[in-house]
Chains A and B, each alone.
Chain A
């Protein structure tokens, strides 16, 4: 079992729909990142959070540390939101392991007009 599991792996939506992508992890973490990757490889950091909830525009990220679970929500989805969304966690091991991120496999989102 991977340390970071995302669901669903693939998600298709119609423009305007509310979207939720889930991330579960099995290790203690110091922070969780949500990343967006468009075709061609470029990755953009959307959120970094260690507790609670963050909001940026139509994107909302929540994390429940006790349940080891995070969700990324997109409200009023748009075709330009089509991308791969990746969850990554930073360990709590201290020392040199602090710099290592463990990534989920990604969720491929396609939003149709």
Chain B
């Protein structure tokens, strides 16, 4: 595609629900990153894929967070048993190589009630 596409753009969940956020990177981009941005803050690293391999998941805040990229293209960030503190914008970015320019999606804004 022309750019990084994320869906849904907005998600409202009740506390305890599971949510899945999708990222469709630019075709051919090897590296894919997930970031969490709380209101008024800079993004914070969650996890990073090189093709289908999850090379770094040190930023995932708890074991309720899980990310996958099974075929090395589309990635899904899953949050189980959502809590209010999970409310944030979840940003996905991709690059042709790990050291290359980053292209960001519009983000998925999650609100947990």
Known: A97-B56, A99-B48, A105-B42. A43 touches B91 (CB 8 A): yes
Chain B residues near A45 (CB-CB < 8 A): 101-104
Within 8 A of A (CB), among B87-113: 89, 91, 93, 98-107, 109
Q: Is B75 an interface residue (CB 8 A)?
A: no
Please measure, in the bound complex, the distance between the C-alpha atom of A87 and the C-alpha atom of B56, giving whole angstroms. 21
A100 touches B42 (CB 8 A): no
Main secondary structure of the interface of A (DSSP, over half): strand
**Interface size of A as a range:** 20 to 34
Main secondary structure of the interface of B (DSSP, over half): strand
Q: Is A66 an interface residue (CB 8 A)?
A: no
Known: A86-B43, A103-B43. A41 touches B107 (CB 8 A): yes
Which of A33, A42, A99 has the most B CB atoms < 10 Å from its CB? Answer: A99
Q: Which residues of A are in contact with B by a Cβ distance under 8 Å?
A: 4, 30-31, 33, 35, 40-45, 48, 86, 88, 90, 96-106
The 9 closest A-B pairs by CB, nearest first: A103-B42, A99-B48, A41-B107, A43-B104, A96-B55, A96-B56, A105-B42, A42-B106, A100-B45
Q: Which residues of B are in contact with A by a Cβ distance under 8 Å?
A: 31, 33, 35, 37, 41-45, 48, 50, 55-56, 58-59, 89, 91, 93, 98-107, 109
